[in-house]
């Protein structure tokens, strides 16, 4: 062979070697099963907050991976929580604070987690609710199944609930529920042969309101056995006006108490959680039987918490423990061991952690840090606080022992969470805690982006009902 010919072939050979190496590296990358759950608070067995709950499948996953006991959302509402999680940017960075806003003017779709993974060699599949509604798919997807079905009220249901708090059994079977179809799509993807590593996002809508699932799930929680969540009728007496306004005690809570149906609402929420857990179980069982079992990261997260009468408050839309604490579990082959992590984390960690574990380059726009060190060693040093935002300049900082809330108008709350986990006593006005308040206030976001446009002709800006809708 002539030297010139050999020289011409060398670049091609090198290209083939590099291409083969890249293919091997891509093939070795782990898949990601990304399980999102809507409106699930910390009423799961492994967190111990409510002994009545039945969540064997979520608890099974928690027992196989790292279960976080102090994880918090970035915003206590679906739209801003998901926009922040999937962009890796806090609401105070983007200006997406509440449900009624359009997140796109503040977040370009090319930086979203699914888009970023797609640009870096992943096939990306989605189903159900990942962004704010199945119709809002956000960014790039190779395929997406929004889900279908519209359950109807069971003939035995007395009505559809109390005011805005909707709860009733439905006449459909499990198989006819929208979440069942979404999980079935996820199972199909798990069982397929893929030529690239995949990111599979499966978004379950339940236990989002209405608390409406087949009657058999209600039957698991007899009404005469239901216990109300811990509450005090005077719990708002030391809460400042801005906090009382968020609580809205004269709205949902007053109607529920007047109706005498508080236990029915709790029963319905527990039933809906149990149904949700059964769908998580289907997904986990399918993964265990699939060829991708040993090379798939599982991360399960709920988008925020939910209140059922604590502090005379219902729904999310507030900055206390109940609306902000989440369910958060990671199972990473070759990295995690069955363990519990008590370090405080928030969801700004999810995007960088997925990048770290998949070998995908870390983009420069992220606000959070990877929790990879905690997945390897749950007892590792970790000094990051959790920060949750609800509306412009309304923030809470959660550390291992404390919660501090600062509202736009300057109102404050301070709770010694280690000694007062139910946040009954606001210490903000006590002079002996001035230094602690100053310390925690220094952790608040340094930027407060202006509100993004609203999708409802400004009603959200005016504080109307659509600002805090449950859609």
Q: Tell me: the pLDDT tens digits for 188-204?
A: 999 999 999 999 999 99
Report residue 377 CA to chain centroid gap: 23
pLDDT of residue 218 exceeding 60 = yes
Active site residue 341: no
Has residue 48 been placed in a domain?
Answer: yes
Distance spanning both ends of the chain, measured CA to CA: 71
Has residue 118 been placed in a domain?
Answer: yes
Predicted local confidence at residue 415, as pLDDT: 99
The tokens for 160 are: 């559809």
> Which whole number is the average pLDDT over 276-303?
97
Has residue 32 been placed in a domain?
Answer: yes
Summary mean pLDDT of the chain: 92
Q: Tell me: the pLDDT tens digits for 96-109?
A: 999 999 999 999 99
Residue 24 vs residue 429, higher pLDDT: 429
pLDDT-derived band at 156 (thresholds 50, 70, 90) equals confident
Has residue 426 been placed in a domain?
Answer: no
Contacts 24+ apart (CB under 8 A), 16-19: none
The count of structural domains within the chain is: 1
pLDDT of residue 273 exceeding 70 = yes
Q: Tell me: the pLDDT tens digits for 61-92?
A: 999 999 999 999 999 999 999 999 999 999 99
pLDDT of residue 466 exceeding 70 = no
The tokens for 430 are: 């006590």
pLDDT of residue 19 exceeding 50 = no
Predicted local confidence at residue 330, as pLDDT: 99
> Which whole number is the average pLDDT over 210-223?
98
> Which whole number is the average pLDDT over 177-184?
98
Q: Tell me: the pLDDT tens digits for 313-365?
A: 999 999 999 999 999 999 999 999 999 999 999 999 999 999 999 999 999 99
Active site residue 22: no
Predicted local confidence at residue 134, as pLDDT: 63
Instruction: Give me the domain span that covers residue 282.
Output: 28-386
pLDDT of residue 307 exceeding 90 = yes
Q: Tell me: the pLDDT tens digits for 114-145?
A: 999 999 999 999 999 999 976 788 999 999 99
The answer to whether the beta carbons of residues 173 and 193 sit under 8 Å apart is no
Predicted local confidence at residue 456, as pLDDT: 57
> Which whole number is the average pLDDT over 203-230?
98
Q: Tell me: the pLDDT tens digits for 372-382?
A: 999 999 999 99
pLDDT of residue 24 exceeding 60 = no
**For position 155, which CATH number holds?**
3.40.720.10
Predicted local confidence at residue 27, as pLDDT: 55
Catalytic residue among 42, 46, 116, 132: 132
Residues 6+ apart with CB under 8 A from 168: 153, 154, 157, 158, 159, 160, 161, 210, 211, 212, 268
Has residue 270 been placed in a domain?
Answer: yes
Residue matched to tokens 């988008």: 303
Contacts 24+ apart (CB under 8 A), 229-238: 229/50, 229/266, 229/308, 229/309, 229/310, 230/310, 230/422, 231/309, 231/310, 231/311, 231/312, 232/424, 233/312, 235/310, 235/311, 235/312, 235/424, 236/311, 236/312, 238/425, 238/426
Has residue 315 been placed in a domain?
Answer: yes
> Which whole number is the average pLDDT over 423-440?
98
Catalytic residue among 78, 276, 349, 355: 78
Has residue 293 been placed in a domain?
Answer: yes
Predicted local confidence at residue 149, as pLDDT: 87
Has residue 1 been placed in a domain?
Answer: no
Considering the chain, what percentage of its residues have pLDDT values greater than 70? Answer: 90
């Amino acid at each position: 062979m002539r030297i010139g010919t050999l020289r011409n072939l060398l670049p091609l050979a090198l290209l083939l070697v590099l291409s083969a190496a890249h293919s091997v590296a891509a093939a070795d990358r782990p898949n990601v099963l990304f399980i999102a759950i809507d409106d699930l608070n910390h009423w799961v067995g492994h967190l111990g907050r409510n002994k009545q709950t039945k969540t064997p499948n979520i608890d099974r996953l928690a027992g196989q991976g790292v279960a976080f006991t102090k994880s918090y959302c970035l915003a206590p509402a679906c739209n801003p929580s998901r926009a922040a999680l999937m962009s890796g940017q806090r609401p105070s960075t983007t200006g997406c604070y509440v449900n009624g806003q359009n997140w796109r003017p503040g977040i370009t779709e090319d930086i979203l987690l699914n888009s970023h993974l797609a640009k870096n060699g992943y096939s990306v599949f989605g189903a159900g609710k990942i962004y704010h509604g199945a119709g809002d798919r956000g960014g790039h997807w190779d395929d997406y199944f929004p889900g279908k079905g519209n359950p109807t009220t069971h003939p035995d249901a007395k009505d559809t609930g109390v005011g805005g708090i909707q709860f009733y059994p439905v006449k459909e079977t499990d198989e006819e529920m929208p979440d069942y179809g979404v999980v079935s799509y996820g199972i199909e993807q798990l069982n397929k042969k893929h030529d690239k590593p995949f990111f599979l996002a499966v978004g379950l809508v339940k236990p989002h309101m209405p608390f409406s699932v087949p009657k058999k799930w209600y039957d698991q929680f007899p009404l005469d056995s239901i216990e109300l969540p811990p509450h005090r009728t005077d719990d708002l007496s030391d809460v400042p006006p801005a906090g009382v306004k968020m609580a809205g005690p004269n709205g949902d809570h007053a109607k529920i108490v007047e109706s005498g149906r508080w236990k029915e609402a709790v029963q319905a929420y527990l039933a809906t959680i149990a149904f949700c857990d059964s769908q998580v179980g289907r997904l986990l069982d399918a993964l265990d039987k699939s060829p991708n079992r040993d090379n798939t990261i599982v991360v399960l997260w709920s988008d925020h918490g939910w209140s059922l009468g604590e502090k005379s408050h219902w729904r999310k839309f507030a900055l206390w423990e109940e609306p902000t604490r989440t369910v958060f579990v990671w199972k990473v082959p070759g990295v995690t061991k069955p363990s519990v992590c008590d370090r405080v984390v928030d969801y700004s960690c999810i995007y960088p952690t997925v990048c770290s574990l998949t070998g995908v380059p870390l983009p420069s726009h992220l606000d959070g840090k990877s929790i990879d060190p905690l997945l390897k060693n749950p007892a590792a040093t970790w000094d990051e606080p959790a920060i949750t935002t609800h509306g412009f300049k309304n923030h809470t900082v959660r550390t291992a022992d404390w919660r501090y809330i600062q509202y736009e108008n300057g109102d404050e709350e301070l709770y010694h969470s280690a000694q007062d986990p139910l946040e009954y006593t606001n210490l903000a006005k006590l002079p002996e805690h001035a230094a602690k308040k100053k310390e925690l206030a220094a952790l608040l976001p340094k930027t407060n982006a202006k509100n993004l446009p609203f999708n409802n002709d400004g009603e959200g800006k005016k504080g109307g009902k659509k600002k805090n809708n449950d859609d």
